[in-house]
Amino acid sequence: MLEEAGFDWLVFDTEHAPLTQQSVSSMIQAVDETRVCPVVRVGAVDMYFAKSYLDMGAHGILFPLVNKPAEARNAVSYCKYPPVGIRGVAPRKASSYGKRLSDYIRNANRSTVVAVQIETKEALDNLESIASVKGVDILFVGPTDLTMSLGLFEDRNNPKVIESMKKVVRACEKEGKVAGTLALDENEARLDLRLGFKFLGLSSDFRFLLKGASSILEKVKKL
């Protein structure tokens, strides 16, 4: 349904959502990759999960809580075949179940997206060195966790948060990376675009469902 809505990419979240490898595999199989790009957020900077989801057909991996350049380098290494990285060779859906294995292996390093989340004060302190890691494509701000890490609880619009997000955009511009973040609604999206973010996650499936259901229910109750 979300593919039909016209999104450019969908993220399958295994960090906070109750998704198993089997459920992610089934959902990626349902995606028409010519219309929407499947991305998986893993639960940690982990080699096993990164290569598993790429083999399932994910076009990119989003790594949470990347706080140090060494962790960013590991993220790249886990997503890339030798000699760039250490990803093992056993792609399933990614290679059309072996029908285009050679073509996939030759092009995977170039086409696989590596995104790292900047969502703590420690990550901000190491921002320049993280942004300079070769092979990282996207620096993705986790605004809620960043707000919490800065000691501001849920004040996502605090000037300190906004300035930190600007800092990430500037680092991306300097290093030729793409700045990404999550917008919960159109107002946040408007601000994020104005700040210079190019890769936007928009809300979530359960928020879409709740907002739509609440809207029509509220209207019907007024009849």
Q: Residue 89's domain is classified under what CATH number? A: 3.20.20.60
Report whether 39 contacts 12 (CB < 8 A): yes
Instruction: Report the half-sphere exposure of 3 (CA within 13 A, side-chain side).
Output: 13
- Number of structural domains, the chain? 1
- Which residues form the catalytic set? 16
pLDDT band at 154; cut points 50, 70, 90 = confident
Q: Give the tokens for residue 33.
A: 């990759």
User: How many percent of the chain have pLDDT more than 70?
Assistant: 100
pLDDT tens by residue, 89-127: 999 999 999 999 999 999 999 999 999 999 999 999 999
Residue 26: pLDDT over 90 = yes
Report whether 181 contacts 192 (CB < 8 A): yes
Q: Which domain holds residue 20?
A: 2-221
Residue 67: pLDDT over 90 = yes
